[in-house]
């Protein structure tokens, strides 16, 4: 048997012989922390930056171990602390977004809508989306969940009207005063129209095979990245319907799938609160998004 295999086997035996249940718990906790961090950062610009920073640190570490480069080693050892201090500045938006997601995960605020209200709203939104899609009328409908959208309501025109398919069709009829921007729905009320949403800064749209998606899709991704709202988008060019949540987009939906997804978000999704429910929704969204072409 080769000597290196024997040495490896001896090293592994040395490690496992000294493991107890506390060490296993310790390793499990560390693994869980890294898993949650990577789960929060996946498909975001922070993931790309983190990968680049990791490769840079590995390369620098390898170069500084070479004794034939004393000047370079001195330079790195003196500038590395400054680079570490610069990391919070570079990752400031992503750190803020991650803390917001963690804050929402621990929220125990009950939903303020009944089953009947949910059914009525979902039915109206689905009916309007189907008719808008048939006519190739673009639309952006934001459905509020736990996070407040008051700061975005202020950018639009307040309506405070009961949600109906006919009202949504009228708002998004081309060249009408309110057709630009988004409508915001809270409970069974259409709170405001022509609202301005934050645009996404992630690379999800640029990495998709169809890069002609415009401001509505970018705004839908943007609001889903900073809140837990669900956005329904109807493309003006193709008439295709998309649902966006948590910075992920499920595209080319038919009416039946759209209704099922919205009912899942506003019924079963709201029965489980706290960290467990949040992790469950993260996995559900990830599994759905991997089955779709972005």
Whether 43 and 204 have beta carbons less than 8 Å apart is answered as: yes
Which stretch of DSSP H or E encloses residue 140?
strand 139-143
CA distance 220 to 207: 16
Which string of b and e fits 169-205 if b means at least 16 CB within 10 Å? Answer: bebbeeeeebbbbbbbbbebbbbbbbbebbebebebb
Domain ranges in the chain are: 3-105, 115-290
Q: What is the pLDDT of residue 64?
A: 64
Task: Decide if pLDDT at 29 tops 50.
Answer: yes
Average pLDDT over residues 78-100: 68
State mean pLDDT over 24-28.
85
Q: Fill in the DSSP letter of residue 43.
A: T
* CATH, domain range 115-290: 3.40.1700.10
Q: What is the pLDDT of residues 196-211, one digit of tens each?
A: 999 886 655 555 544 5
Q: Which two tokens stand for residue 71?
A: 């000047």
- C-alpha–C-alpha distance, residues 13 and 148, integer Å: 55
What pLDDT does 17 receive? 74
Q: Tokens representing 259?
A: 């209704």
pLDDT on residue 110? 40
How high is the pLDDT of residue 293?
A: 45
The residues, ordered by sequence, that sit 6+ positions from 259 with a Cβ below 8 Å of its Cβ are 122, 123, 126
pLDDT digits (tens, 9 = 90+) for 173-193: 998 989 889 999 998 899 999
User: 243-269, pLDDT tens digit by residue?
Assistant: 998 888 888 899 999 999 998 887 744
Helix extents (H) in the chain:
3-17, 21-41, 45-64, 70-90, 92-105, 115-135, 150-153, 165-171, 215-226, 255-266, 274-290
pLDDT of residue 11: 76
> Between the CA atoms of 244, 245, 250 and 251, what dihedral angle is there, to the nearest 10 degrees?
0
198 against 288, higher pLDDT: 198
Hunting for tokens 């009416």 — which residue is that? 255
Residue-level pLDDT at 147: 80
DSSP secondary structure string, 52-107?
Answer: HHHHHHHHHHHHHT-TT-HHHHHHHHHHHHHHHHHHHHHTHHHHHHHHHHHHHHT-
pLDDT, residue 85, reads 74
Q: At what angle do helices 255-266 and 115-135 cross, to 10 degrees?
A: 150
Nearest to 49 by CA among 89, 10, 22: 89
CB 145 within 8 A of CB 229: yes
pTM for the model: 0.61
């Amino acid at each position: 048997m080769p000597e290196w295999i024997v040495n490896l086997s001896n090293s592994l035996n040395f490690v496992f012989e000294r493991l107890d249940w506390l060490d296993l718990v310790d390793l499990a906790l560390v693994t869980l922390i890294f898993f949650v961090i990577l789960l929060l950062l996946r498909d975001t610009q922070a993931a790309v930056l983190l990968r680049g920073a990791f490769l840079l640190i590995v390369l620098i570490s390898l170069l500084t171990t070479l004794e034939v480069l004393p000047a370079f080693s001195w330079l790195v050892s003196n500038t590395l602390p400054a680079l570490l201090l610069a990391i919070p500045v570079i990752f400031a938006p992503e750190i803020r977004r991650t803390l917001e997601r963690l804050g929402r995960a621990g929220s125990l605020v009950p939903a303020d809508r009944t089953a009947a209200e949910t059914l009525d709203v979902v039915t109206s939104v689905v009916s309007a989306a189907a008719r808008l899609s048939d006519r190739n009328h673009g639309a952006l409908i934001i459905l509020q969940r736990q996070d407040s959208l008051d700061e975005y309501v202020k950018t639009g025109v307040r309506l405070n009207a009961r949600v109906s398919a006919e009202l949504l069709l009228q708002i998004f009829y081309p060249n009408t005063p309110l057709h630009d921007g988004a409508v915001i729905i809270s409970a069974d009320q259409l709170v405001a129209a022509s609202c301005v949403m934050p645009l996404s800064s992630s690379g999800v749209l640029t990495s998709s095979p169809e890069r002609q998606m415009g401001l509505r899709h970018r705004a839908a991704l943007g609001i889903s990245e900073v809140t837990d709202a669900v956005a329904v988008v109807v493309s003006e060019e193709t008439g295709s319907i998309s649902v966006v949540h948590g910075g992920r987009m499920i595209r080319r939906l038919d009416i039946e799938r759209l209704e099922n997804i919205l009912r899942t978000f506003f019924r079963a999704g709201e029965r489980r609160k706290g960290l467990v429910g949040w992790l469950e929704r993260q996995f559900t969204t990830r599994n759905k998004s991997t089955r779709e072409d972005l």
